[in-house]
Structure 1
Amino acid sequence: MGTDEQRRVVDPKNHIASVVKAIEVLECFKNGGPELSLTQVIDQTGYTRTTVYRLLGTLELAGWVERTDRGAYRLTLQVFELATTVLAGFDLRTVASHVMSELATAFDEHVYLLVPDGTRAVCIDLIESSQPIRVMVLTVGRSLPMYLGGAPVALLAAMEKTLLPRLLKEGPMVTPAGNEIPEAELRQTLAETRDRGYAISSGDVTPGVVALGACIKDRRGQPVAAMSIGGLSADISDQRLDTIASALMDGADAVSRRLGYVGD
């Protein structure tokens, strides 16, 4: 958004331009944060102050956004209700739920289900650990770039030819701590991930937290999701890591078979 190349091409005979603009305003919240000021929306969309003000006013009237005490804008629960409806009918989430429950019961660690969304991976389901110390980074609806975390890296390893060039065009790959990941280092990580069958993320998203990720494939053998197990590094010895990794890969294979995948 914000440039002619990024915006959708609108044919006035078949589309309503104002609706497209309103959707672009809503999409600003995907990466901009839970609250945005008028100026931030203007900067992201490239539209005039008057246009953005009118669009936000219309969305507020329709119940999709609301004003905060600070005068910023945020999405309402109406958006969550719509997303919940979509997720309720998402077969992958339903198919994976039993395996996720088994993994959560066996290891009492956080279990995540993520799907690719461009060059990011979005969490569509999770089961929390019962442990008192919370290590969660992802919640349902939140995302990570494909080069960070267990599940995203597992997906990127399986889709490197198509996704890595797109990631590289987007600019430097940087961790939350501000450390840039060199391309050569990432390529080596992806090759190792494919060789072992699962990804290992150790402290790259959150210090002291390790996560494993394994891909789920559809009946055509295409990666459509990844499951991840994450917990405190201090609680996951090398031996326990191997046990978790084996169970995670078995679980991902089980979900893949339920989706119709029969193996290579």
Structure 2
Amino acid sequence: MDTPSDVIGRTGAVLRAVSTCEPTGATTSEVARRTGLARPTVHRLLASLLGEGLVDRDTAGRWLLGPELYLLGTTAAPRYDVTALAQPVVRRLAQATGESAFFSARRGNETVCLLREDGSFPIRSHVLYEGIRFPLGVGTAGLAILAYLGDSEVEEYLARADLTTTYGEQHGRDAVRERVATTRTQGYAINPGLIVEGSWGMGAAVFDAEEKPRWALSLTGIEQRFGEDRRGELGELLLRAAHQLTRTLRPRT
């Protein structure tokens, strides 16, 4: 018999799965696949959430986040929303580099993209968008944050996480450990087209008042824009912006 905590945990997983499919929505089968839950269980949870206004359903039968979540989020925003402070930094980063710049936050063992600003270069990568979630160690925001956790926390996470099923063998534990070490050495993370071939990214962690990596800034673009001769320049700009944002956000944490 399910306990209340089981039900709450499954409900949270379903809502997060739906959020990763915004703005096009998700089918019941897609939500089941993303959560690892049985389809009948997912359908039952979604139907209950629909009744509470926490999810919505379009004419094609796809599930979307509901209006009640918007109202709840608006109420909570004054305590948690830091995007207004991050926006100018993200915009300047996009203007300085010409690439698409992003601000992401850590939520448990995932990162959530909160902001996107496109630069002047006309060809863009669309791997990242506002609301998308990735596990720690996947994408440059998740890798930058993972790299600045303690060694024991990194190892505990890697022992539990199975990143290869969804993201391929290039996200095996040893490969992620190697990228963590490289990120610590150079200060910023690099994603050489590991999620989508030809789409590169770089990321830097942003720290809270306790020196914990809580957010990240990142850049994405086509591979030709991230050549070895330019990565040093982009990395320096990223680290400078991340340091500035760390100082800006600390009084709020």
Instruction: Give the structure-2-normalised TM-score.
Output: 0.79
The separation in 1 between residues aligned to 2:81 and 2:57, in whole angstroms, is: 35
Deviations 1:191-249 (A, max 9, x none): 11111111111101111111111111122212111110111111233222211110110
The separation in 2 between residues aligned to 1:251 and 1:46, in whole angstroms, is: 44
- What does residue range 100-249 of structure 1 map to in structure 2 within 5 Å? 100-159=90-149, 160-174=151-165, 176=167, 178-249=168-239
Does the C-alpha gap of structure 1 residues 68 and 97 become closer, same or farther in structure 2, counting only changes over 3 Å? closer
Mapped contact 2:28–2:39 kept (Cα < 8 A): no
Instruction: Give the structure-1-normalised TM-score.
Output: 0.76
Flag the structure with larger Rg.
1
Give the CA RMSD over aligned residues.
3.4
Mapped contact 1:110–1:231 kept (Cα < 8 A): yes
Question: Which position in structure 2 is the counterpart of 1:14?
Answer: none
Mapped contact 1:148–1:175 kept (Cα < 8 A): no
The runs of 5 or more residues in structure 1 that have no matched partner are: 10-19
1:63 aligns to 2:53 (yes or no): yes
Q: 1:25 aligns with which of 11, 31, 51?
A: 11
Question: Which position in structure 2 is the counterpart of 1:96?
Answer: 86
The separation in 1 between residues aligned to 2:247 and 2:233, in whole angstroms, is: 21
The separation in 1 between residues aligned to 2:75 and 2:118, in whole angstroms, is: 22
Mapped contact 1:120–1:145 kept (Cα < 8 A): yes
The separation in 2 between residues aligned to 1:216 and 1:172, in whole angstroms, is: 24
Query: Offset at 1:101?
Result: 1.4
Query: Offset at 1:118?
Result: 1.9
Size of the aligned set, in residue pairs, is 244
The separation in 1 between residues aligned to 2:30 and 2:194, in whole angstroms, is: 32
Question: Which position in structure 1 is the counterpart of 2:28?
Answer: 37
Question: Which position in structure 1 is the counterpart of 2:5?
Answer: 8
Identical counterparts, % of pairs: 25
Query: Offset at 1:39?
Result: 10
- What letter corresponds to residue 114 of structure 1 in structure 2? S
Secondary structure of the 2:209 match is coil
- What letter corresponds to residue 16 of structure 2 in structure 1? K
Q: Which has the higher helix share?
A: 2
The separation in 2 between residues aligned to 1:239 and 1:86, in whole angstroms, is: 44
Mapped contact 1:110–1:136 kept (Cα < 8 A): no
